[in-house]
Structure 1
Amino acid sequence: MTPKAVIFDIGNVLIEWQPERFFDTQIGEDRRRALFAAIDLHAMNDRVDSGENFTAVLTETAAQNPAFKAELDIWHDRWLDMASPAIDHSVRLMTALQARDVPVFSLTNFGIQTYVLAATRYPFLSAFDRDFISGHMGVIKPDVRIYEMLEEGTGLKGADLLFTDDRAENIDAAAARGWQTHLFEGAQGWADRLVAAGLLTEKDAL
C-alpha cells in the first residue's frame, strides 16, 4: 500500500545529534566521560523534550552539580552547535516528497525553546505540513499517546503512514499501530525505502 503521508523524526534523521561527540571536542574525552557518568544528561534532555523550560532545567541541573557547571553552561549556551550539522540528503528527500504533493509531518522528541532555536539555523524545520513536537504535546516517544495524537491530528492511521526514526524502540511502537516504518541508519537507505514505496523516483531521491 502506498503511504498517504511521510513522517520524519528529526534528531539523527534530519539533524545530527551526538552530544558525546561534541563534548569530546570541547572538553576532551576523559572529562566528557566523567560528565556523562555523573549526570544523566539524556534524562535531563527528556525533561526538556517533555515540555519543561530549557533554561530552567539547565539552571537546576547546574545548581545540583556545581562541579560540572561550566560544562552544563556549554550545553545551554552552545546547544545549537551541538545540534549539527544538517543531514543534507534527508533534507533533500523531504523537499522532494513535498514537491510531489506528499504530505510530510514531523514526529520528534524536541523541546519548545530548543525547537525555536534550531529553526533559526535550519529553515526546513518550519516547512513541515504538520508539526508534532513532543515539548508542545507533553509526551515523548515511544509513549503510545504521542502516536495516537498524530493519528488524531491528521486523520490518518495504520499503513497510511510511513515513519522513519533512528531509534528502534520508536519504530517498534509505530509498527505496533500498523504504521509502515523504516529504521534510519543513513539517508541512502531512507531514499531507497521511499523509492520502493512508490513515493519518489530514483532521480528524485538523489
Structure 2
Amino acid sequence: MTHIQAVVFDIGNVLIEWQPENFYDRTVGEARRRAFFADTEIHRHHEQIDAGASLPGMIDSLVPQYPEYARELRMWNDNWNDLAAPAIPHSVRLLNALADKNVPLFTLTNFGHDNFPMSQAVYPFLNRFDREYVSGRLKMIKPDPAIYAHVETDSGLAPEHLIFADDRAENIDAASARGWHTHLFTHPQGWADRLVAEGLLTAEEAK
C-alpha cells in the first residue's frame, strides 16, 4: 500500500491555465496588452490578491491611478473566468480518478478569496477537494514555509504522507524542504506517470 495519504494539487497551470496575457492579446491586442501589463505592473498587484486583498477592491483602487487602462483593469475582475482558463483536461481526469477512488485530495493554491469561488462555479472539479488551502483565505502564500506547516497541522498528516504537484520550482522546493513528496508539474502525462508509480492510480485510470 502506498505511503501517500493525501494528494495535494496546485491549481494555476496544473488544473486550469493561468496565462492572462492570452486573454488580453485576444481582446485588446498584443501591443496594448504589453503596455497595460508594463505600465500597471498588474501581476505585482495581483500578488496582493493571493495574499488576501479583495480583488474588486484592488481594481477599484487602481482605476484612478491608471484611468487610461480602466477598461483593461475592470476586465481583470469582470472577466476572471476568461483569464483563468481553460481547464487542462488530462489533469482534470487525474483529479476525478483520484476522487472517485476516495483518495484524500487537497488543494494548496495561491488564489484570491474573491475569485476562487468564481472559478469553482464554472469548474465543478474544483469542488472535489477534501480540504482547500487557499492563500487569500489564509493570508499566507507559497512558498512561505508557514503555509505548508498549516497544511500539516490542519490535516494532521506528516510531510512524508503528502505528495504535492505544482508548476513553480520555488513552491516545490519549499515543500521538499519540509519532507513532502513533490512533483514539478510541466505536463499532465508526467504527473500521471508519477501517480501510477506511487500506486495511487493504475495506468488505465491515469489516461
TM-score, normalised with respect to structure 1: 0.97
Residue of structure 1 equivalent to 2:185: 184
Matched AA of 2:153:
E
- Give yes or no for the alignment of 1:46 onto 2:47: yes
**Corresponding residue SS for 2:153:** helix
Residue of structure 2 equivalent to 1:153: 154
Contact 1:2–1:199, Cα closer than 8 Å, also in 2: no
**Structure 1 residue 32: Cα displacement:** 0.9
Partners in 1 of 2:117 and 2:100 — Cα distance?
Answer: 25
Residue of structure 2 equivalent to 1:144: 145
Residue of structure 2 equivalent to 1:167: 168
**Corresponding residue SS for 1:38:** helix
Matched AA of 1:10:
I
**Corresponding residue SS for 2:195:** helix
Residue of structure 2 equivalent to 1:107: 108
Structure 2: gaps (5+ residues): none
**Corresponding residue SS for 1:6:** strand
Residue of structure 1 equivalent to 2:9: 8
**Structure 1 residue 53: Cα displacement:** 1.0
**Structure 1 residue 75: Cα displacement:** 1.4
Residue of structure 2 equivalent to 1:74: 75
Contact 1:2–1:198, Cα closer than 8 Å, also in 2: no
**Structure 1 residue 90: Cα displacement:** 0.9
Matched pairs, number? 206
Partners in 1 of 2:142 and 2:164 — Cα distance?
Answer: 13
Contact 1:23–1:29, Cα closer than 8 Å, also in 2: yes
Partners in 1 of 2:152 and 2:43 — Cα distance?
Answer: 27
Task: Spell out, residue by residue over 1:176-195, the C-alpha distance to the aligned partner (whole angstroms, 9 max, x if none).
Answer: 10100001111111101100
Partners in 1 of 2:129 and 2:77 — Cα distance?
Answer: 26
**Corresponding residue SS for 1:195:** helix
Matched AA of 1:141:
K
Partners in 2 of 1:157 and 1:29 — Cα distance?
Answer: 46
**Structure 1 residue 101: Cα displacement:** 2.3
Partners in 1 of 2:19 and 2:158 — Cα distance?
Answer: 31
Residue of structure 2 equivalent to 1:33: 34
Partners in 1 of 2:142 and 2:85 — Cα distance?
Answer: 21
**Structure 1 residue 44: Cα displacement:** 1.3
Matched AA of 1:125:
L
Matched AA of 2:187:
G
Residue of structure 2 equivalent to 1:17: 18
Partners in 2 of 1:110 and 1:13 — Cα distance?
Answer: 13
Contact 2:99–2:128, Cα closer than 8 Å, also in 1: no
**Corresponding residue SS for 2:7:** strand
TM-score, normalised with respect to structure 2: 0.96
Structure 1: gaps (5+ residues): none
RMSD: 1.0
**Structure 1 residue 37: Cα displacement:** 1.0
Matched AA of 2:169:
A
